[in-house]
A and B are shown apart, each in its own frame.
Chain A
Amino acid sequence: MPLLEVERLVISFGGIVALGGVSLKSDTQEIVGIIGPNGSGKTTLFNCISGVYRPREGKVIFKGENLLGHRPHEVAQKGIARTFQNLRLFMHMTVLDNLMLGRHVQFKKNPFHAFLRIRKEELIHREVAEEIIEFLDLQAFRNSRVSDCPYGIQKRVELGRALAQEPELLLLDEPIAGLTSEEKEEMAYRITEIRGRYKTAILLVEHDLRIASRLADRMVALDHGLLIAEGLPKEVQSAPEVIRAYLGDEEA
C-alpha cells in the first residue's frame, strides 16, 4: 500500500479549473518531484492535501484513510507537514519557539501544566528542537526573532518547523527558491539527508529542474491542473508534453 494516494482531485476558483482530476502516489521514504509552469496547480495540490482547500471531488488517502474534509490541524496530527512557497512563519516569535510550535502535535497538552508552570513536557520537546537546530545549523539564531533573520535562515526555520512535527510525509513548496546558489546546494543536501534521518516521504515542488531531478526518485509534471507526465526525472523532463508546456509558458 502506498503511503499517499491522491485520486482525481478537482478544484476550481470561479471559472479557473486549478486541478482537473489529478492523481498521484507516493511511497514511504520516496521523494517525488512535482514540476510544471506557473499557475499549473502545484501549490493548489499541496493546499488540498494539507486541508487548507477543500477539493470539489477526489480523494486524499494517507495510510489507508481518506483525509478529505479534515481540517488542517487534523491532517497535521495524521503525520503530514508542509512548508509554504511564500513563507508563513510566526514572525514575532524566536526561531526556537517556531520550532517548538512544530512540536505542538506531539506535545502532551495539559492546561494545568500550563497554568501551574509544570514544564516536564517542555524539556522533552526542547531536546528534539535542539537536534533540529543542530541539523539545520541554526544555533546562532536560536533566540533571534524570525523577522530579524535573513531570508535564507527563515527558509530553514520553516523547514525545521515542519521537521519538528516528525511527519511521515513532508510537502515542500519550492524550498530553494530565492536562495543564493551556495544556500541552494546546502538545502538540496539537507533534503536528501532528511529522508535518511527522519524517514519521511517528500513531495517536492521545485522550479529548478536541475536540482529537482537530482533529488527526486520519481517526477510528475502538471500543466493547467492536469497531470501531463509521470516517471523518472529524466523521462519526464524530456517528454514532449512537458517541453511544450514550458515553451508555451514562455511564449505567453
Chain B
Amino acid sequence: MDLIESYKEELKLIRKPWTKFWVGLLILFVLLLPWYSPEHVTHICIIIFIYSIGALGQNLLIGYTGQISFGQNGLLAIGAFTFGHLVGHSIPWPLAMISGGLAAGLFGLVVGFPSLRLKGPYLAIATMGFGVAVYQTFVNSETLSGGRMGLLIKKLTPVFSLSPTNFNYYFNLFMAAIFLLLTYNIVSSYMGRAFVAIRDNDIAAEVTGVNLVRYKLLAFFISSFYTGIQGGLYALFMGYVEPNMFTFMESITLFVAVIVGGLSSVEGAILGAAFIVIVPQLLSQYKGLVPVVYGLTIMLILIFEPMGLYGRWMKMRLYFRNWPFR
C-alpha cells in the first residue's frame, strides 16, 4: 500500500474491522430499541438524544478548547424561543431550528468575548452573568416569553404511521447522529487541532500561527450553536417553551454531563448526557437530592477518575483484552 493510500486510511472515521462490527451492532440495537422497550424508556432516550447535542457542544468548548461557559441556560433559551417564535410565524421548522442555532451561536460570541481576557474561574463567572441575565430578560418580558403560559409550539406529525413517541425517538436520534458525526469531523480536522493547541499551550498555538481570537470565538460559536439546537429540539418535543425551562441549573447540568462523561471524549459526552437525564429520573421522588448527587459525583470524578466515564470504559476494555494475564 502506498503512502497516500495509508494516510487516507488513517483519516477514516472507523478503521479497524472489529470496531466496525461493534458499532454496527450498537446501531442495530439503538434502531430496534423502541420496539422492545416500554414507552417511558423510549421517552428517556429521546431526552438523552436531545441533551447529548448540547453536551457534545460543551465538550468541544470545555474539553477540547479549554474554555468554559456557564451561560448555556441563556443560549438554550435563545435557541428555543427563536425557534418557537419563528415556527409561530409559520416559518418551516428546519429553517426555524437552524435560525435558533445561529441566534444562539451569535450570542455565544458575546459569551465568548471575555475569554479573550479571562481564564478559568473568572471566565466561568463572567459567562454565568450572561445566562442569568438572559433568563431574567425572558422572565420579565411577556413579548419575548409569550406570557404566563409560554409559547405553544406545534409538534411534528409522525410519518410512516409511527406512534408519536417512536417517531420522536427516530427524529431526535437522527438529529443527535448528525451532531455526533459533525463533532467527530471537527475534532479530527485542522480546526479541532487548533482548539486542542489553544487548550494545551496558548502561547505556542499563537506562535505556530493559530489566531487565538478567531479560534476561541469559533469554539464559542460552534458550541453555542449546538446548545441552541438542543433548545429548539427540546421546545419542539415538549410542544411549548417557557422561561423556567432554562434556569441556571441547566448550565450546571450540561457542565456535569461533560465532566462525568470525560473531558475531550466525544463518546463520553453521550454517556454524560445519559447520566444527567437518568439521575433525575431515578431520584424523581427526591428532587432536592439531584444537585447534591451532581456535586458529589463531580468531586468523586475529579478525585478518582479525571477521565470520566469514558476513561473508565477504556480501562475496562484494556483489562478484558489482556484478560487471562492480568
Tell me the A residues contacting B by CB distance below 8 Å.
50-52, 71-73, 75-77, 81-82, 84, 88-93, 97, 100-102, 104-105, 107, 109, 111, 113-117, 119, 121-123, 126-127, 130, 161-162, 165
Contacts and interface: CB of A to CB of B under 8 A. Distances in A.
A127 B203 CA distance: 26
Contacts of A97: 193, 196
Interface in B190-220: 190-194, 196-197, 199-201, 203-212
Given A101-B197, A105-B209, A123-B7, A115 B186 contact: yes
By CB atoms of chain A within 10 A, which of B8, B184, B190, B206 has the most?
A: B190
B289 to A, nearest CB: 35
Q: Is the interface of B mostly helix, strand, loop or mixed?
A: helix
A90 B196 contact: yes
21 contacts: A52-B203, A52-B207, A73-B207, A75-B207, A81-B208, A89-B201, A90-B200, A91-B201, A100-B193, A101-B205, A101-B208, A104-B208, A105-B209, A109-B190, A114-B189, A114-B191, A114-B192, A119-B11, A121-B190, A165-B208, A165-B209
A11 to B, nearest CB: 17
B205 to A, nearest CB: 7
Contact of A82 (B182, B185, B200, B207): B207
B4 to A, nearest CB: 6
A73 B190 contact: no
B14 interface: no
A114 B201 contact: no
By CB atoms of chain B within 10 A, which of A51, A101, A111 has the most?
A: A101
Given A76-B207, A165-B208, 10 more contacts: A89-B200, A90-B200, A93-B193, A101-B208, A104-B208, A105-B208, A105-B209, A109-B190, A114-B186, A117-B185
A122 B190 contact: yes
Interface of B: 3-4, 7-8, 11, 13, 182, 184-186, 188-194, 196-197, 199-201, 203-212
Given A73-B211, A119-B11, A114 B185 contact: yes
By CB atoms of chain B within 10 A, which of A51, A109, A162 has the most?
A: A109
A197 B8 CA distance: 27
Nearest to A119: B11
Contacts of B13: 117
Given A71-B206, A88-B204, A89-B204, A104 B185 contact: no
A93 B200 contact: yes
By CB atoms of chain A within 10 A, which of B184, B204, B206 has the most?
A: B204
Nearest to A97: B193
A45 B7 CA distance: 40
A104 B193 contact: yes
A143 to B, nearest CB: 9
B209 A104 contact: yes
A102 B208 CA distance: 6
Contacts of B4: 123, 127
Contacts of B8: 119, 123
Contacts of A123: 4, 7-8, 11
Nearest to B264: A92
A6 B253 CA distance: 53
Nearest to A102: B208
A118 to B, nearest CB: 9
Nearest to A77: B209
Contacts of B190: 100, 104, 107, 109, 114, 121-122
Contacts of B209: 73, 76-77, 104-105, 165
A73 B212 CA distance: 8
A117 B209 CA distance: 22
Contacts of A161: 208
A90 B201 contact: yes
**Sorted from nearest, which 9 A-B pairs have the closest CB atoms?**
A114-B189, A105-B209, A76-B209, A88-B204, A72-B206, A90-B200, A114-B191, A117-B185, A119-B11
A88 B193 CA distance: 16
B49 to A, nearest CB: 20
A97 B184 CA distance: 16
By CB atoms of chain B within 10 A, which of A51, A77, A90, A127 has the most?
A: A90
Contacts of B207: 50-52, 72-73, 75-76, 81-82, 88
Contacts of A77: 209
Contact of A93 (B182, B188, B196, B210): B196
Contacts of A84: 204
B267 to A, nearest CB: 17
B3 A127 contact: yes
Contacts of B204: 84, 88-90
A76 B212 CA distance: 13
A121 B4 CA distance: 12
A115 B185 CA distance: 6
Nearest to A71: B206
